[in-house]
Structure 1
Amino acid sequence: MKQGNRQASWWILAFCLVISSLVVFWAKPLLALFSSDPEVIRIGIGYLQIEGSFYALIGFLFMFYGYFRAIDEPMISVVLTIFSLGTRVLLAYLLSAVPSIGYIGIWASIPIGWALADLAGLYYLHKKAVKPADCF
């Protein structure tokens, strides 16, 4: 199990690094496929650069979803999903209300929600008496 999780983690990091790089560095051409409005492209670039930089977090979250289903604990996957979505909604509401942050807070809430759900996944991994050190 330890070797499998370690390999999965490396593959997630490698794949997400490639995809994140493409999204972050090719944001303008990607957005130009959908709009020629300079304001839409400018705002979209900011969004893609914030969210795209953290794709590894959602990659690990997907790994946790699969892991807990594989060990016959599908409700933990449901809890992680609800936790991720709930924290994103709450953080989007709270952060966007700060005038100096505004709509960027909505974008930032997405990777923050992923990170918090990843931490919850690690917590459940530990709680299920499967030591993270045995898995990674």
Structure 2
Amino acid sequence: SLVGQNIGAIKIKRAEKVAHLSSQIAFFGLTGMGLIMFLFAEQLTAFFIPHDPEVIQDASLFIKIMAPSFGLLGVQQVLNGVFNGAGFTKASMLISILNLWIIRFPLAYLLSHKTLIGYEGIWWSFPISNAIAAIVAFIYFKQGYWKLRLFKGRH
């Protein structure tokens, strides 16, 4: 909402600074959370499902696969918010479609059926697709097209 407020006040440079700062906070904060979850995956899982060693083992592995990507997922979400705040909802929609339908689902199938990792391939598709979507969102943000749309809308 800070980005949207600054855009509404036609303070584009300030909106861009807020977006950078928010992305950094999301990246480092969620990377730290991911590290904690990675280190305590078994305990976290056992808290919810205390008496099923197989579920604890599998769920812990999923957490350990996902946790390192939390920072990038945070960046993607922040930048999608920036695009939405700038009134360019099409960018966040396209990034979400790219993430889920174009990358994650096909990758989940390929990794789970065409490699030796089996069902874990489905899990690996999550952090891989999140990382790619975050990189795409970051590149798009840095290109600045979202700012040009703001100026076009003011005429």
- The alignment's TM-score, normalised by the length of structure 1, stands at 0.86
- Matched length: 131
Deviation at 1:59, TM superposition (A): 0.3
Deviations 1:25-51 (A, max 9, x none): 111111112222111111111110010
Match of 1:59 in 2: 74
Q: Out of 106, 111, 117, which is 2:127 matched to?
A: 111
User: For the residues of structure 2 that align with 1:77 and 1:34, how far apart are their CA atoms?
Assistant: 33
What is the RMSD computed on CA atoms of the aligned residues? 1.9
Higher relative contact order (Cα pairs below 8 Å, separated by 6+ residues): 1
Identity rate, percent? 28
* Misfit runs of 4+, over 3 Å: none
Q: Out of 21, 29, 49, which is 2:35 matched to?
A: 21
What are the ranges of 5 or more consecutive residues in structure 2 without an aligned counterpart?
1-14, 148-155
Deviations 1:23-81 (A, max 9, x none): 11111111112222111111111110010111011101101210101111011111111
Amino acid in structure 2 at the alignment position of 1:30: L
More helix by share: 2
What are the ranges of 5 or more consecutive residues in structure 1 without an aligned counterpart?
131-136
User: For the residues of structure 1 that align with 2:80 and 2:20, how far apart are their CA atoms?
Assistant: 16
Deviations 1:76-109 (A, max 9, x none): 1111111111111111011001341111111110
User: For the residues of structure 2 that align with 1:37 and 1:28, how far apart are their CA atoms?
Assistant: 11
Asked if residue 98 in structure 1 is aligned to residue 92 in structure 2, the reply is no
Largest Rg, 1 or 2 = 2
Match of 1:47 in 2: 62
User: For the residues of structure 2 that align with 1:30 and 1:129, how far apart are their CA atoms?
Assistant: 40
